[in-house]
Structure 1
Amino acid sequence: MTTDDPHPRRAARAARRARSRTRTALLLLVVLLGLTLDLPATAPVRATATSRTVVQEKNVVRTVVGLGDSVPAGSACDCDPYVSLVGGALATRQGTGVATENLAAAGLTTRGLLDQLDDDATRRTLLAADLTIITIGANDFDSDTVTDDDCGPGNGLACYHDDLVRLRANMDAILARVRALQPRRGTRVLVTGYWNVFMDGAVARAEGAAYVTNSDGLTRAVNATLAASANAAGARYVDLYTPFKNGGDDTALLAEDGDHPAATGHRLIAREVLSAILR
């Protein structure tokens, strides 16, 4: 006597239906447990998305302010100075409007910048700044004595000792005032160094070996002072000495006076500043 089901296909369908009902019941149970226990699996996803939105909003730059001497002012170069280039590049990258306020002035010293920071119009401009870029310090030093024996690195830059001390004190005061005017979270301050505080490239070489050696030694000391002041104030220092010297001769990056950046030099500075911002 056989026990086989006379309708095997019907039995198979019934078995599949039973398994499907079991799976559905299990899935429903999992969902109900998740809702009841408020499982943490979804919490980090919501937090991450929220954090990312906040970071993107905080990093948006709407106003760039340039402070300093003839370098950010664009002297001796019939071109857009690096402050404007940075503002334009940020606008393109962000897809937003970026206002650029360039308050730099040829011949300005650190003492002169401190006086400028007392001006009400300057203070109002800095209050609105998301990014402030400062290039200052070269005019604090006298190039007429650079070839003197006691003005070289071999003698510890003795003739410039007092000027370097004043540079540090003035830079500390400048950064303190700028920071005090920008209490909002997310504001950034960048301080650039120099490729040379005096003339460089072919024009400098025409002045003789002592000029080249001593001006280079002073530039390194000035850059170290600027970097130390920036780091102490929580600002970012942007090295320009290394990229300008990268090819060994920066003549092509300089205007005809051998002192100020040409259009190529301003584009290089803008790239270095943007790189620092992105870091």
Structure 2
Amino acid sequence: MIRRAVALLGVAVLGGCAAAAPMPTTAPLTVVTFGDSVAAGTDCDCTPFPDLYAGRIGAHSINLAEAGSTAADVAAELDTDEGTEAVRGANVVLLMAGANDVADAFDANTGEQGYAQAADSVQREVTAALTRVRELRGPGVEVLVVGYWNVVEDGDVARVDYGDDGVAEAASATRYTDDALRRAAAAGGAAYLDTSAAFKGADGRANPTALLAEDGDHPNARGQAAIAAAVYEALPDPPL
């Protein structure tokens, strides 16, 4: 847990009397999260990764992620009173959105053309959201865009539900999504976090089933902890 103290030292002399220096104070850190069901902790019955990360750095967590949110929903949330106020007090902003956009294209069997169109929309909306964060908070905030290991089911559940061809299609849809998020992060002055290694290992071949809930889609407690650890590795010491 990070502890930061700012000691304000000084002596004011008024009428020959010295004023006592203030005691050191601890400035709180605040982590604000926008995103979808992964960041919200859906189907986990556990602490979601934004709150785990905040606890690790001794920060207050404002988790505004909601199940079903699209990239456009996240961009719109930044223009609400709640979203605006949260960002203005943030030291770290986490953003994880786009899976629902491209998952719809996957479910509709649109193929790569559909994935590309959905991903283009994700890139525009996430870039707009990041631009809004900078407008509200300026350079004094760390912003991290979190990518996906898969935008739909994975592991053993995916093998049963999709078959080998469907698993390959899911991987393609995910690549489109993550590439869009990576480009948006670069355009919006944010860092990008690839979570695929956390779930599938450095070579991308590990079976992520042990990190997933029974639906094969959302992270379980171990999966949430894995994302939190990756976020901490990316942002171990955010600014006050």
Q: TM-score, normalised by structure 2?
A: 0.82
Relative to total residues, which structure has the larger helix share, 1 or 2? Answer: 1
Map 1:37-186; keep pairs closer than 5 Å: 62-91=29-58, 98-143=59-104, 145-146=106-107, 148=109, 151=111, 157-183=112-138, 185-186=139-140
Relative to total residues, which structure has the larger strand share, 1 or 2? Answer: 2
Once the two structures are overlaid, the 10-residue window that deviates more, 76-85 or 164-173, is 164-173
The list of structure 1 runs, each at least 4 consecutive aligned residues, that deviate by more than 6 angstroms after superposition, is none
Distance 2:114 2:197 in 1: 25
Q: Which residue in the other structure is 2:158 paired with? A: 204
Once the two structures are overlaid, the 10-residue window that deviates more, 160-169 or 70-79, is 160-169
2:141 to 179, 187, 190: 187
CA contact (8 A) 1:146 1:215 kept: no
* Structure 1 residue 168 displacement after superposition: 1.2
1:220 to 163, 171, 175: 175
Distance 2:175 2:48 in 1: 24
CA contact (8 A) 2:106 2:115 kept: no
- RMSD of aligned C-alpha atoms? 1.9
Q: Give the secondary-structure state (helix, strand or coil) at the position aligned to 1:134.
A: strand
Amino acid at match of 1:71: V
Distance 1:265 1:147 in 2: 27
* Structure 1 residue 114 displacement after superposition: 1.7
* Structure 1 residue 178 displacement after superposition: 1.2
2:185 to 223, 230, 250: 230
* Structure 1 residue 232 displacement after superposition: 2.0
CA contact (8 A) 1:143 1:198 kept: no
Q: Give the secondary-structure state (helix, strand or coil) at the position aligned to 2:84.
A: helix
Q: 1:274 to 1:179 in 2, by over 3 A?
A: same
Amino acid at match of 1:111: A
Deviation per CA, 1:48-67, whole angstroms, max 9, x where unpaired? Answer: xxxxx9xxxxxx76101111
* Structure 1 residue 244 displacement after superposition: 0.9
Identity of aligned residues (%): 38
Larger Rg: 1
Q: TM-score, normalised by structure 1?
A: 0.71
The one of the two structures with greater contact order (alpha-carbon pairs below 8 A, sep at least 6) is 2
Which structure 1 segments of 5+ residues have no match? 1-52, 54-59, 92-97, 152-156
Q: Which residue in the other structure is 1:263 paired with? A: 221
CA contact (8 A) 2:57 2:236 kept: no
* Structure 1 residue 99 displacement after superposition: 1.1
Distance 1:142 1:227 in 2: 18
Q: How many residues align?
A: 208
Distance 1:118 1:171 in 2: 13
